[in-house]
Chains A and B, each alone.
Chain A
C-alpha cells in the first residue's frame, strides 16, 4: 500500500512578470516504513514540495497535482479543515531553523504539551495535568534530552539549536505520525549533534516503522540509510529510484555530476585540487530555460533537449533525460 502517492505536482508562483513554475510535474510515492531522500541544490524546490504536502504554503503559491493521495485519500480534494485534520494526525514536519520554528514567547513545556493529541489522555480531567507532565517528560527523554526539567521550563532562545531541533522532533513524534518530513533538519547544527539527530531519525524509522521524507544536502550520510532517492534540479525531478542504484549507477547526467562532486576522501585529495562541478550556475527562477532545465549546463546536451524529456522508468528507477547514461550491455556472443 502506498502511503503517499503524488503525481504531477506543480507549484507555481504568480508574479508581475508572469507565472513562475517553481516545481514542475514532480512524481513521488512512498511506502510505509520507507525512508526517502529528496536531494537537490538549494532553490531546487525541495522545501516547496514538503510544504505543499503538509499544506502550509502561503496563498501566493498555487499548487496543482493530478493526484496527491494519502493512504488512498486525495488531499487536494478535501476541504482545508479536513485536510488539516488528516495532516496533523498522520504527518509531522521538522524545519531547518529549529529555534525560529518555536514560539519565542512560550515555554518548551507548553509547546510540547500542545502537540499532544487530546485522545491520548486516559485519566480523568483532574489528573490530566500530571499526565501531561509525564507525557512531555517521556517525549523529551525519547529524543535524548536528559535534563528535561530545565529544558521544559526554558524559552527557545535559552536553548541551543541542537536541543531546539530535538524538541521539534519530540513535538513531531508526539502524535505518532506515519510520515515525518524533515526539511534539512541538520543545516544549523554542529557535526556531533547532526550525527545524533540522524541516529534519532534512523531509530524512529526502524523501531516505530515511521516513514521519513528526508530533505537534505548530506548526500553521503543519507545514502547509508535511505531506501529511495529523488534528485531534483530547478524544480524538475531528474532522477528517482532506489538509493543504491541512483547513487552508484546514475542514469541522468545531473545525478552523475552530483555524485562526482562529492570529494572522495578515501583516495586522498591533492593540495588545492579543484572539486568537480558542472559549469555555470543555477538559473534564477525568473529565467528558467525551456525544455530540460539542466540543458545549458549539461555536458551531454543536444538539440532535442529544448523539449522537456518525459520520465522513463525501468525497474523502479525513473529518469527524465533524452540521453541517459545507459551502458551498452556487452552481448554474450558478439557476432
Chain B
C-alpha cells in the first residue's frame, strides 16, 4: 500500500518536473538576446562555431526536438556556460548549491530543535507566563525583517564585540579541498593538521547566518506547533485518555504530540521554499558563497544561462523537499496513508 502511494507521488513528481522544464526551456525564447547565446552561453562565436552549436542544440528543427535535446542536456549535466564567468553552469550550481543547502539545513535544524519544544511548552502552559513570554518573543521575531536583523547582528557581534566574522564560509588561513562541498563534512573527512581549529572557525562563520536564517522558520514553527497542540488538546480522544487516568505528561507524550506534530511535518516541508528565498537575502548580506547570491548576481549581470540553471536547480530542490515532507507525513499518519489519490 505504501509502495502504491510512493508510486503515485513519483508520477506526480514527473508532471511537476515536466512543467518546470517546459518553463525553463521557454525562458530561452522569452529572454532577450540571441537564442543560441541563451541556450549555450557562448558569445561572439564565429560562423563555424555557430554551425556546430546550431547542430548541437537542434535550433533549426521543431520545438519538440529542441525540447527533447534540452532534456537530454539537462540530464547529462550540460547546462551551458555562464555568460559572465565562461565556466560551466552545472559546475557552478554543484559547487554553490551545497553551501546554500548547508545553511538551510542548519537553520531548519535550529528551527526544529527550538521551535517545536517551545511550541509544546507554550501549549502546555497555555495562558500562563511561559506561553506569554514565548508568544511575545515569536511575535517579535516574526515581525523583524531579516535583512535588518542581519545588519543589527553584524553591528553588535562583529563590529562592536568582534565575536564573529562578518562574511564568508571560513577564514582565509584554511584551505579546504571541496569534496562534498559541505564545509563541515569536508573539514572532518580531510583530516588535516589543524582541523579542530578549522572546524571551529567554520562554525563561527556559520553562527550569524544560521541565526538570521533560522529566525523566520523558528517563529513559524513555534506558532504552528502551539496552535496545533492546542487544537489537539481540545479533541475528544484527549478527554477520553484523561478519563482513562493518564497524567498530563503521558497525555502529551503519548497522544497529543503524535497527533499535533503531523501537520507540523507538513509545515516544515512548506517552509523550505520560504527558507531558500530568505537564504538568498542572507547570503548577499553575509557574502556567503551560495547559490542565492550567485543567482542574484547573475540577474544583475543578465547572465541568462546562469539564471536558467539556478532557477531549475532551486525549484527542483524545493519540489523534492516538499515531496519528502509529504512522504514522511504520510509515513507517520495512518489516515492519509490510505488516501485514494495523491495531493499536490
Measured CB to CB, the nearest residue on chain A to B333 is A105
Bitwise, B256-270 to A at CB < 8 A (1) or not (0) is 001100100000000
Contacting pair A56 B334 (CB below 8 A): no
Bound-state CA distance A155–B333 (Å) is 10
CB neighbours (8 Å) of A157 from chain B are 334-335
Contacting pair B237 A102 (CB below 8 A): yes
Interface members, chain B 208-257 (any A CB < 8 Å) = 234-237, 239-247, 254-255
Determine how close the nearest CB of chain A comes to the CB of B249; give it in whole angstroms.
Answer: 12
CB neighbours (8 Å) of A106 from chain B are 254-255, 258
Contacts A88-B243, A102-B240, A114-B246: A155 and B259 contacting too (C-beta < 8 A)? no
Bitwise, A228-256 to B at CB < 8 A (1) or not (0) is 00000000000000000000000000000
CB neighbours (8 Å) of A84 from chain B are 242, 245, 247
CB neighbours (8 Å) of A92 from chain B are 243
Contacting pair A54 B243 (CB below 8 A): yes
Measured CB to CB, the nearest residue on chain B to A174 is B244
Contacts A100-B236, A103-B259: A93 and B334 contacting too (C-beta < 8 A)? no
Contacting pair A103 B245 (CB below 8 A): no
CB neighbours (8 Å) of A54 from chain B are 243
CB neighbours (8 Å) of B244 from chain A are 88, 114-115, 171
Contacting pair B243 A97 (CB below 8 A): no
Bound-state CA distance A51–B236 (Å) is 12
Measured CB to CB, the nearest residue on chain B to A80 is B248
Contacts A101-B236, A105-B334: A56 and B245 contacting too (C-beta < 8 A)? no
Bound-state CA distance A87–B246 (Å) is 11
The one of A87, A102, A105 that contacts B243, using a Cβ cutoff of 8 Å: A87
Contacting pair B245 A104 (CB below 8 A): no
Contacting pair A95 B236 (CB below 8 A): yes
Contacting pair A87 B245 (CB below 8 A): yes
Determine how close the nearest CB of chain B comes to the CB of A82; give it in whole angstroms.
Answer: 12
Contacting pair A104 B246 (CB below 8 A): no
Bound-state CA distance A97–B240 (Å) is 11
Bound-state CA distance A175–B244 (Å) is 9
Contacting pair B258 A95 (CB below 8 A): no
Determine how close the nearest CB of chain A comes to the CB of B79; give it in whole angstroms.
Answer: 44
A201 close to B (CB within 8 Å)? no
Measured CB to CB, the nearest residue on chain B to A57 is B239
Contacts A100-B237, A168-B240: A105 and B245 contacting too (C-beta < 8 A)? no
A77 close to B (CB within 8 Å)? no
Contacting pair B237 A101 (CB below 8 A): yes
Determine how close the nearest CB of chain B comes to the CB of A165; give it in whole angstroms.
Answer: 12
Contacts A104-B259, A105-B258, A105-B262: A56 and B237 contacting too (C-beta < 8 A)? no
Contacting pair B237 A175 (CB below 8 A): no
A89 close to B (CB within 8 Å)? yes
CB neighbours (8 Å) of B239 from chain A are 51, 56, 95, 101
A85 close to B (CB within 8 Å)? yes
Bound-state CA distance A155–B92 (Å) is 49
CB neighbours (8 Å) of A81 from chain B are 247
CB neighbours (8 Å) of B258 from chain A are 103, 105-106
CB neighbours (8 Å) of A91 from chain B are 243
Contacting pair A89 B236 (CB below 8 A): no
Contacting pair A104 B236 (CB below 8 A): no
Determine how close the nearest CB of chain A comes to the CB of B129; give it in whole angstroms.
Answer: 16
CB neighbours (8 Å) of A95 from chain B are 236, 239-240
CB neighbours (8 Å) of A171 from chain B are 240, 244
Interface members, chain A 53-100 (any B CB < 8 Å) = 54, 56, 58, 81, 84-85, 87-89, 91-93, 95, 97, 100
CB neighbours (8 Å) of A89 from chain B are 245
CB neighbours (8 Å) of A88 from chain B are 243-245
Measured CB to CB, the nearest residue on chain A to B332 is A105
Bound-state CA distance A168–B246 (Å) is 16
CB neighbours (8 Å) of B259 from chain A are 103-105
Measured CB to CB, the nearest residue on chain A to B337 is A155
CB neighbours (8 Å) of B236 from chain A are 95, 97, 100-101
CB neighbours (8 Å) of A155 from chain B are 334-335
CB neighbours (8 Å) of B243 from chain A are 54, 56, 87-88, 91-93
Bitwise, B78-101 to A at CB < 8 A (1) or not (0) is 000000000000000000000000
CB neighbours (8 Å) of B235 from chain A are 100
Determine how close the nearest CB of chain B comes to the CB of A154; give it in whole angstroms.
Answer: 9
Bound-state CA distance A121–B241 (Å) is 20
CB neighbours (8 Å) of A51 from chain B are 239
CB neighbours (8 Å) of B247 from chain A are 81, 84
CB neighbours (8 Å) of B242 from chain A are 56, 84
CB neighbours (8 Å) of A100 from chain B are 235-237
CB neighbours (8 Å) of B334 from chain A are 104-105, 155, 157
Contacts A88-B245, A97-B236: A104 and B335 contacting too (C-beta < 8 A)? yes
Interface members, chain A 92-144 (any B CB < 8 Å) = 92-93, 95, 97, 100-106, 114-115, 117
Bound-state CA distance A114–B237 (Å) is 13
Bitwise, B122-154 to A at CB < 8 A (1) or not (0) is 000000000000000000000000000000000
Determine how close the nearest CB of chain A comes to the CB of B85; give it in whole angstroms.
Answer: 51
Measured CB to CB, the nearest residue on chain B to A117 is B245
CB neighbours (8 Å) of A104 from chain B are 237, 259, 334-335
Query: What are 26 A-B pairs with beta-carbon distances under 8 A?
Result: A51-B239, A54-B243, A56-B239, A56-B242, A58-B234, A85-B245, A87-B243, A87-B245, A88-B244, A88-B245, A92-B243, A93-B240, A100-B236, A100-B237, A102-B237, A103-B237, A103-B255, A104-B237, A105-B262, A105-B334, A106-B254, A114-B241, A115-B244, A155-B334, A168-B240, A175-B245
**10 residue pairs, one from A and one from B, having the closest CB atoms:** A88-B245, A155-B334, A101-B240, A101-B236, A56-B239, A103-B237, A100-B236, A115-B244, A105-B258, A93-B243
Known: A103-B237, A104-B237. 11 other contacts (CB 8 A): A81-B247, A91-B243, A92-B243, A95-B236, A100-B237, A103-B259, A104-B259, A105-B262, A155-B334, A171-B240, A175-B245
